[in-house]
Structure 1
Amino acid sequence: MSDTTQLSSFIEYVCSSPKYAMLSKDLVSKIASEELQNKGNRAKALKSTRTRLHRLAGAFIPSNIDYAKWLRVFKDLPSQITSEHLASLKQIMRLHSSTAERLPYLDEVYKDIFSHIPSPSSILDLACGLNPLAIPWMPIDVDTEYHACDIVLPMLDFMENYFSVFRPNTHVFEKNILEFQANRSFDLIMLLKTMPLLAQIDKTAPDKLLSRLNFKYLLISYPLQSLGKQYKGMEKTYRTQFENLIANKPFQVQEYKLPNELFFILSHHD
């Protein structure tokens, strides 16, 4: 069996898992290729591939969301955003661990954060999860461009269908942010609870990503408790991680804190 055939077979085997079949094929192929080359042994490569994929995305792959059902729910609602519509958005965001943790503070968190960010005309939400569904709670103009990317394919398909009806100037796309390269500037880029995941994959990944972003404002957040709702000294750890990330870089930094999430707003010095 040729090396190319062996690699293709290995990638297909990794993707045969229902969990990892939901992820970007480019990302799975990249990690699987690296691990097969590094380990040589197929069994060891499979274990290390699954470990890396789980660290990057495993905890945030919502396996309990019936996207077809939720599309039917929103299809039956009027095109304008009503209280019933907002309630439905909260229900589906509750099914994704990252957005679920932010729900108790949804009415104020974005109002408070955006008070430090002059009306952005363009937003990029990296590794977005279901966060774009929180747009109705963001004090942004109806014509603000909102771009969002992630690696979970069924979730992206759902949001693409949803926004085509309810907010057509929201653009959703598949992208592995380990290889993200901005080809334009954005008024605001959001990286919510993402830097710790990148650092687990590659300690240099957060700094590399930051160097490739072009923005007026950058919103970075870190979780203050685990998915099991344990604090475990996470604030101290992530403050240190953030301070190391921006050391010797010309940013102004503002801080905003929820009981379970720490935000930093970065902007360039004038």
Structure 2
Amino acid sequence: MNGLVSYISKVGFCLAAFILLLGNTPVLVPDVSQDKISIKGDFTGAQLLLFGAITYPPGTRNQERADIVVVLKGPTQSIVLREKQNVAGIWINAASSEFRSAPGFYAVASSRPIETIVDNKTADIYELGLDHLQLSPAGAIDSKELGRFTDGLVDLNSRGQLYKSLPNQVEITNSVLYKARINLPASVPVGDYSAETFLIIDGRVEAAEIKDITIEKIGMGRFFTNLSQEYGFIYGLLAVFLSVSLGWAAGYAFRKL
């Protein structure tokens, strides 16, 4: 009986210490301007506002050197990247690499440049920055080749506005309130996204929170997307039928002219 009481006392002490420890750490309260974005046929892009507050434990000063990093990414997808090689003046497919899980969109906004906020190890752990994305290859590949294909994917998506780095784009007011704006291009992929907010003080991640965001097609765009994904054979037949019908109609119209 005494042993049980002693065990319960130890557990209670550990729980109390854990609660006190939590009470001495800052807390992030993030939010987004919209957690669901609908894409219609006339969609030309959107701007997402990510904002929130930092609450500090009672009796502690607001950290003047607190930094905020916001990462918006998703949806995870498999991507095959192929290199082109010029052979006798003709560009042909050469080496290729497949990534099992790469974000279709990735944007990182920060109150200062990432390299001035955290070291490379911390940036790698939390994937803070385009240079620190952790992409998983589908097969065996040496590190040098993996680095080359990773750089190629980042460059390709950066030129398409799907990967972007936004240093000095998180505004912090009175070391408490923060906000950042991230532009989404018209080509942004549909799916589930995560908006991760990190509070970093003296190079250490002190708090992190996640908000979920969904980007979806509506109307006829959604109908055709679902049809292609769930009924690929029917979608293919419909595409061939429409192509033949339009070709026949165009030919008939020209004969009448």
Structure number with the higher strand fraction is: 2
Structure having greater relative contact order (Cα 8 Å, sep ≥ 6)? 2
Larger helix proportion, structure 1 or 2? Answer: 1
TM-score normalised over the length of structure 1: 0.23
Q: Max radius of gyration: which structure?
A: 2
Q: TM-score scaled to structure 2, two decimals?
A: 0.24
